[in-house]
Structure 1
Amino acid sequence: MKIHFLTVLFLTWLTGGLWAQPIRLHPDNPHYFSYKGKPTVLITSGEHYGSVLNLDFDFITYLNTLQKDGLNLTRTFTGAYREAPGDFGIEHNTMAPEAGRYSCPWPRSEQAGYALGGNKFDLSRWDEVYFKRLKEFVSAAEQRGIIVELALFCPFYEEKMWTISPMNAANNINTVGKVGRNDVYTLDKNGGLLAFQEALVRKIVTELNGFGNVLFEICNEPYFGGVQMNWQHHIADIIVETEKNLPNQHLITQNIANGSAKIEKPHPAVSVFNFHYATPPKAVPLNYGLNKVIGDNETGFRGMADSTYRKEGWEFLLAGGGLYNNLDYSFTSVTPNGTYKPGAKSPGGGSPALRQQLSYLKAFMADLDFIRMQPDPAIVSGLLPAGVRVHALSEAGKQYALYIYNGNHPKETQSMNVMLNLPAGRYKVTYVEPETGRKQHKKLRHPGGSATLTTPAFGVDLAILLKK
C-alpha cells in the first residue's frame, strides 16, 4: 500500500500535478488569487502581446525586466491573430513581426501565397518549433514568478488584419475560412474553421497543462468583430473537457467589455472576468456579487502620461479588483528591456518609471491582509472636494486601505481633510505617495465615530493605510 502511494506521488510529480499547483481563486476570498499557497493580486505593465509570435522578441530579457521591476503578470497572444507594422500607430509593435519572423501554431505548407510573403499555412498540422518556444516562454515566466494570461483568439478589427490571418482561406491550404472577418468566431457561419479552432485549443491546453502559471483567456475583446457569446462558451467547454482527464485544471478568463458592463448569465467555468480601460472602476461594484476575480487586463490607449495608468491601477485594485495590466510600449523587439520612448503617434506610453510606480501598488497590497477585506464605499463620512474620488477596502475595526485621486490635477501639492467612519481604537496610519513610494507614519487615537485625517501635502494621488 505504501509503495503504491509513493508510485502515485512520483507519477503525479512527473506530470506536473504536484509541483505546478496552478494559480486558482483564493478559497477564502475568490475575488483574489492564490498562487503557491499565497494570497495574490496580479499587477503589471507589459509588452503588447507578441512575446511568442515575434521571433525577434527576446522574452528572457523582457521577463527579467518584469521580475526586476517587481511585477508578476504578462499577457500574450497565441499567434492565431497577428498585426502588421504600423497598425494602431504602435512603433516596433511586437504583435507585428517583420517578414519571415512570424511564428504561429500552424506550420507553413509547400504552397506559396501568404499575404505577407512566403508559403501558406497548413491548419491540419502543428509547428512544433512554435510550441517549443511557447513552452520555453511559459517556463521562463514561471521561474520568475510571473503569471501568463494567454489569449487564445482575437477578432479582426479591420479588413486588412483578416487578410493576413492564417485562418483566412487565402492564406491556408485547407479550403476553410472563406468567410467575412465578422463570422470567424461563430458556431454557424465560420466556413469550416470551428474544427480547427477546437483542435488548437485542445493542443495548447494540453501542451501547457504541466505549468502552474497559466490563465487561459477565451478571446481578446470579443465585443468587436461579431464574436458570438455561444462560441465563447463553447471554447470554455472545450478547455474544461480537455483538462478533465489531465493532472491540472487552469482558470479560464473572459473579456467582457471596454469600460464597464453588468455580466449576465456567466459561464460557470469562467473564474476571471476582465474589462479594458476600466476607469473609473465601475465594473467592480457592478459584478462583485459574482464572487470571482474582476480584472482590468488592458489599458494604454490614453496618451503618454505615467500618472494616467498609475491612477487606473490604484483605483481598480482599491475598488476590489484583483488584476491590472497596462500596455507598455517601451517594450519592443529592439528594446525588450523596456527602455524605448514611444513617439507622439503612439496610442500610449509606458516606462521604467511607471513600472516602478506600479510596484509600489503591488507592495502596498502585500502590506494588507486583503483576503479579509472588501470594498467599503461608506468609509468616507464627509464631503470631498469636487473632482476628488476615494476608493477603499476594509476589514471592519482592523485594517483600512484608501486611495485618493484628485482629478483636478493641482499644480501645487496640498493637504486635504478626509473624514472617515472608524470604530474606537488606536491606529497606525501610513501615508504612501503612489508616484515615489515615499511613506509617512502617524498615530491616531480615536474614540469612535467620524475621524478627521489631515493628509500630508500631495498632488494627483495619495494612498492611506490604517491598521489597528
Structure 2
Amino acid sequence: MRIRFLMTFLLPWLTGGLLAQPLQLHPANPHYFSYKGKPTVLITSGEHYGSVLNLDFDFITYLNTLQKDGLNLTRTFTGAYREAPGDFGIEHNTMAPEAGRYSCPWPRSEQNGYALGGNKFDLSRWDEAYFKRLKTFVSAAEQRGIIVELALFCPFYEEKMWTISPMNAANNINSVGKVGRNEVYTLDKNGGLLAVQEALVRKMVTELNGFDNVLFEICNEPYFGGVQMNWQHHIADILVETEKNLSNKHLITQNIANGSAKIEKPHPAVSVFNFHYATPPKTVPLNYGLNKVIGDNETGFRGIADSTYRKEGWEFLLAGGGLYNNLDYSFTTVAPDGTYKPGAKSPGGGSPALRRQLGYLKAFMENLDFIRMQPDSVLLSGSLPARVRVHALSEAGKQYALYVYNGNHPKERQSLNLTLTLPAGRYKLTFVEPETGQKNRRKLRHPGGSTTLITPAFGADLAITLTK
C-alpha cells in the first residue's frame, strides 16, 4: 500500500513539479528544445507583444486561441518600451494602449506630467499590480503548454517613442534618463539608466523563476537605436548572476539581425539566436555550427497574404531552425480571439487560416524524430526550376523530410520531378499540402542510388516525408 501511495500521489508531484525543468536545449541535439521531457520546436503566429502592458487586451482568450490552433509560443514585451496609437500603421495595436490603460513595471508617482497624460513614473519602486498581471499571464500560458519569450528591452525607433518612455527623464521623478534615445542602452552614456535596467532584469528573473515556460530575450532589434553589444553582454551576465542562486535556470535569447548574419564571438550564456524577417533562411546554415537554436522570432511587414508567412515558417524549420513566430495582426484589443481582418494598408497579416497552416507545420515536425535529423545538402541532386527552393532534413538511411517552396506563384497546380540519392530499401512516402494539411501516401521500393520522385500536382508549396 505504501508503494502504491507513493506512485499514485508523490510521483506526479515530483515529475511535474519539484523535478520539472524549464524549457531547455535538447541534450541530444541542441538545435531544438526539450520541454517536459519531450523534443520541442516552438511555432506560433502571435499578437504584437502587448499582452501584459495593455490592460484592454484579454490574454486568456488569446492564449485559448493559440492552444486551439495547436501553437506553443508567444512573445511579449515588459512595458519598458511602448508605442502610441497609429505607430507603424498598425490597427488596434496592442503595444499602444489607450489613455489610462498602460501597465508597466514602475508605478505612477504623485507628480503630474507624463507625456501621454497622468502622473509621472517612479523608477525606484515596483508596480505590484503589473507583476500580478504578468505572472497571471505566464501561468495561464504554462497551463496551455505555451512558452513565453519575454523581451526585456527594445530600442526607440523614433524620437516620439522615446518621448513617451518611463525611462525618459521627462516622464519620471528620479532624475535619470536625460539622454538621447540612442544612448539609453549603453554602459557609458545612459544617464543613470543602467542601474534601473539592472534592477528591472533582476526583478523579472526573480518574479518568474518558478515558471518553466519562460525564455528571456535581452533586447528586441538591438541593431536599431544605438544598442551597444557590450551592454547586451552585460545584461546577459546579470541574467546569469541573478539565477545563480535560484532554483531554475532559464534560456537566454539574443536578437541578432534582420535577414541573416554570421554570428561572431557569441556570449556563452546565450542559447537561442533569433533573427527577424529571415527569408530565405540563409542564416540557419551560416550559424548551424554554433550548436544552438536558430530562430525566426519576428516576421511580417510584407503584406497580408497568408501564404507569405506560411512559406517562411515551413522553409525556416525545414532548413534546420527551431523557432518561428509571425506577427499576427488579427489579434487586437477588439478581437483577442484573432478574428480581426487587417486592412490592405496593414504592415502584415495574420488570420485563423494562417494559424491552422502553421499548426500543420508543428504537427509535421512532431511526426518526425527530428532530434536525430540535421540539414541535408546532398539528398537532392539535379537542377530545379527558377524560383523553386527545396530544403531537407534527414537521419541518413532512416528518415527524410523535404519542403518545396515554389516562388513562381503558379495559377495551375503542377507536379515536379525531384532527383534524390537514397540508400536501398522500402520507403513510406507522405506528401503534405502545407495550406490544407491534406496527405497523399505512397510506397517506394528502391535499389539504392539515384531515383526520380514525381510529386503530386501542387501549388505554392509541398512537404514530403520518406521513412524507411
TM over 0.5: yes
Q: Residue 205 of structure 2 corresponds to which residue in structure 1?
A: 205
1:441 and 1:382 map into 2 onto residues whose CA distance is: 24
Letter in 2 for 1:433: E
1:138 paired residue number: 138
Per-residue CA deviations over 1:369-423 (Å, capped at 9, x if unaligned) read 0000000022111111111100010000000000001111110000111011111
What SS does structure 1 have at the residue aligned with 2:364?
Answer: helix
Post-superposition offset of 1:270: 0.1
Structure 2: how far apart are the matches of 1:385 and 1:367?
29
Aligned to 2:454: 454
Q: Is the 8 A contact 1:273 1:295 kept in 2?
A: yes
Deviation at 1:345?
Answer: 1.6
**One-letter code aligned to 1:438:** Q
Letter paired with 2:421: N
Distance 1:229 1:358, change over 3 A: same
Output the CA distance in 1 between the equivalents of 2:450 and 2:271.
38
The answer on 1:389 being equivalent to 2:361 is no
CA distance in 2, matches of 1:20, 1:226: 39
User: One-letter code of the match for 1:350?
Assistant: G
Contact in 2 for aligned 1:20/1:210 (Cα 8 Å)? no
- Report the counterpart of residue 256 of structure 2 in structure 1: 256
Say if 1:210 and 1:248, in contact at 8 Å, map to a contact too: yes
Equivalents in 1 of 2:456, 2:20: separation in Å? Answer: 45
Shift of 1:18: 1.8
Whether contact under 8 Å (1:20, 1:211) holds in the other structure is no
Cα pair 1:332 1:340 within 8 Å, conserved: yes
The answer to whether the Cα contact below 8 Å between 1:22 and 1:212 also exists between their aligned partners in 2 is yes
Contact 1:51 1:59 in 2 (8 A): yes
Q: Which residue of 1 aligns with 2:285?
A: 285
Query: Gaps (5+ residues) in structure 1?
Result: 1-5
The equivalent residue for 1:276 is: 276
The within-5 A match list for 1:305-454 is: 305-454=305-454
Q: Which residue of 1 aligns with 2:297?
A: 297
Listed as ranges, the matches of 1:188-203 within 5 Å are 188-203=188-203
Q: Unaligned stretches of 5+ in structure 2?
A: 1-5
Are 2:266 and 1:266 aligned? yes
**% identical aligned pairs:** 89
Aligned AA (2:463) = A
Aligned-pair CA distance for 1:314? 0.2
What stretches of structure 1 move > 3 A for 4+ residues in a row? none
Q: How many Å separate the matches in 1 of 2:459 and 2:185?
A: 46
How many angstroms does 1:267 deviate by? 0.2
Q: CA separation in 2, counterparts of 1:359 and 1:80?
A: 32
Q: Which residue of the partner structure matches residue 99 of structure 1? A: 99
1:224 is aligned to 224
After superposition, what is the alpha-carbon deviation per residue over 1:330-387, rounded to whole angstroms, capped at 9, x for unaligned? 0000100000000122101100000000000000000100000000022111111111
Equivalents in 1 of 2:260, 2:416: separation in Å? Answer: 30
Matched to 2:116, the amino acid is L
Distance in 1 separating the partners of 2:344 and 2:162: 27
How far does the alpha carbon of each residue in 1:423-450 deviate from its partner, in whole angstroms, 9 at most, with x for none?
A: 1110000000000000000000001111
User: Letter of the aligned partner of 1:225 in structure 2?
Assistant: G
Secondary structure at 1:31's aligned position in 2?
coil
Q: CA deviation at 1:20?
A: 4.4
Q: Hey, what's the Cα distance between the residues in 2 that align with 1:360 and 1:19?
A: 32
Q: 1:23 to 1:286 in 2, by over 3 A?
A: same
Q: Hey, what does 1:66 align to over in structure 2? A: 66
Write the deviation string for residues 241-265 of structure 1: whole angstroms up to 9, x where unpaired. Answer: 0000000000000000000000000
Tell me the secondary structure at the aligned position of residue 279 of structure 1: coil
Aligned-partner Cα distance in 2 for 1:306–1:370: 26
**1: distance between equivalents of 2:172 and 2:377?**
54
CA distance in 2, matches of 1:18, 1:314: 36
Asked if 1:47 is matched to 2:47, the reply is yes
C-alpha RMSD of matched pairs (Å)? 1.2
C-alpha distance in 2, partners of 1:377/1:347? Answer: 34
Q: Compute the TM-score of the two structures, normalised by the length of structure 2.
A: 0.97
| AA in 2 matched with 1:315 | E
Q: Is the partner of 2:457 in helix, strand or coil?
A: coil
- The match for 1:3 is none
Q: In structure 2, do the counterparts of structure 1 residues 183 and 44 end up closer, same or farther at CA, with 3 Å as the change threshold? A: same
The letter for the 1-side match of 2:55 is L
Separation of aligned partners in 1, 2:387 and 2:245 = 53
Given residue 451 of structure 2, which amino acid in structure 1 is its aligned partner?
A
* Aligned equivalents of 2:20, 2:61: Cα separation in 1: 24
1:290 alignment partner AA:
L
Distance in 1 (CA, whole Å) between partners of 2:204 and 2:406 is 45
Distance of 2:217 and 2:127 partners within structure 1: 21
Q: Take 2:387 and 2:288, find their aligned partners in 1: how far apart are those partners?
A: 25
Q: Pairwise mapping of residues 79-94 of structure 1 onto structure 2 (< 5 A)?
A: 79-94=79-94
What is the DSSP-based 3-state SS (H/G/I as helix, E as strand, rest coil) of the residue aligned with 2:389? strand
Q: Which residue of 1 aligns with 2:166?
A: 166
The normalised TM-score by structure 1 is 0.97
Give the 3-state SS of the residue equivalent to 1:442 in structure 2: strand
Residues in 2 aligned to 1:146 and 1:367: alpha-carbon distance in whole angstroms = 19
Secondary structure, in 3 states, of the residue corresponding to 2:237? helix
Is the CA contact (8 Å cut-off) linking 1:424 and 1:447 kept in structure 2? Answer: yes
Name the residue aligned to 1:37. Answer: 37
3-state SS of the aligned residue for 1:148? strand
Q: 1:17, 1:247 within 8 Å by CA — same for their partners in 2?
A: no
Alpha-carbon distance in 1 for matches of 2:390, 2:121: 52
**Displacement of 1:98:** 0.2
In the alignment, the residues of structure 1 paired with residue 51 and residue 256 of structure 2 have an alpha-carbon distance, to the nearest angstrom, of 24
1:375 maps to a residue whose letter is P
Q: What CA distance in whole angstroms lies between the structure 2 residues aligned with 1:20 and 1:92?
A: 38
